[in-house]
Amino acid sequence: MPSSKNILLMIADDLGREQMGCYGGERRITANLDGFAASGCRFDMAFTSTASCSGSRTVIYTGLHTHETGSYGLTHGNNGFRTFDNVESAPLLFKNIGYKTGILGKVHVSLDNMYPWQTRLENESRNVAWIADEADTFFQLSKEEEKPFFLTIGFVDPHRQLGTRGGFGNVQDSYDPRPNDRIFKPEDVTVPSFLSDILEVREEFAEYYRSIHRMDQGVGMVLKALERYGLADKTLALFLSDNGPPFVHSKTTLFEAGVRLPLFEAGVRLPFLMRAPGFTIPGNVNPNLVSYVDILPTFLDWAGHSNVPSKAGCVQRKGRSILSIAGCSQPQPGWDRVFGSYTFHEITNYWPTRFMRNRRFKYHRNICWKLDFPFAMDLYASRS
């Protein structure tokens, strides 16, 4: 008989911890997420194993590191990266155990047959009210069909969008009258310690804040829809970001902000808020080190299928369920280390690095440190 336990996964794009009130952000721009954190558990040391959009999402959906899945870099365009055929994904596994699966918004992983969501509304719109409407419809259908669901929502905010006001998808007028659009001034922002406190940075962050505030309202609208259908008490809801902010030292890309360096703390130590009725304690702060490879095993455990083995010939999942420590407020034995790797972002951004992290120390290895990267002026002056 199918499980009655639902799963709601909400993924922000390029959201840092320091911008969220529940993680100590000085400007209260994430009221809905702060409320969600108060109703569940806030993990203080959650890490993606790679700070790149497609790679991080692949880790979430497979419970494997990127070198095990083939997702060494972004899947779009001419990059050519795709998930190996011998990898099992979350939408495939949950479809097989009787779940109604779906994804709304940003997808950004490889071929549909490797990630066979039954409902796939791929759209990179910044209209969070539209996403909430589609989530409402999905919840309603799931309840009518009497099927447990696994819904993933990929918010595009607060990712950069070149060619728009400020580069964060902001427009002169709001996308929809329902969210309360808020415009920030340079003096309203708090500049992170890894960036220079200059006017240009403050102007960028003001636009970034507006995008975060929009996404936060989308989260609130989705959670209200979940409650409207009486589903909150039997739904594991998880909110996280795929990687850190789109600024120097906090993400992997080398083309948006001059030079960005992968796997630094701001890029891989991320917001991770979970509400799992019966496991999490409202308002708890969990200090244990958890990795994004642990997410899929946690979902399977919640659904009552923690013993589902990887198929013969498929790569064995590496993560483990965090439900057993979800209610803990003290460090637990064995939850004290995480690992990560980065090889590409775009196919032209080859910069292989690895990291190991425990509670106190971090080992960050730059494998090809001798590689030469020319400055733009060198290229301009070159005869070839």
Instruction: Please identify which of the residues 22, 53, 314, 328 carries the catalytic annotation.
Output: 53
Nearest of 345, 293, 378, 328 to residue 42 by alpha carbon: 328
Q: Residue 167 is encoded by which pair of tokens? A: 């580069």
Asked if the bond preceding 2 is cis, omega within 30° of 0, the reply is: no
Q: Residue 150 is encoded by which pair of tokens? A: 């696994």
Residue 246 φ/ψ, nearest 5 degrees: -85, 60
Q: Would you call 355 helix, strand, or coil by DSSP?
A: strand
Amino acid letter, 339: F
Q: Residue 227 is encoded by which pair of tokens? A: 């409650």
> Strand 100-105 to strand 41-47: parallel, antiparallel, or no bridges (unpaired)?
unpaired
Q: What is the DSSP letter of 161?
A: B
Please say whether the beta carbons of 103 and 154 come within 8 A: yes
**53 in catalytic set:** yes
Extended beta strands in 108-194, E state: 119-122, 149-154
So which residues are the catalytic ones?
53
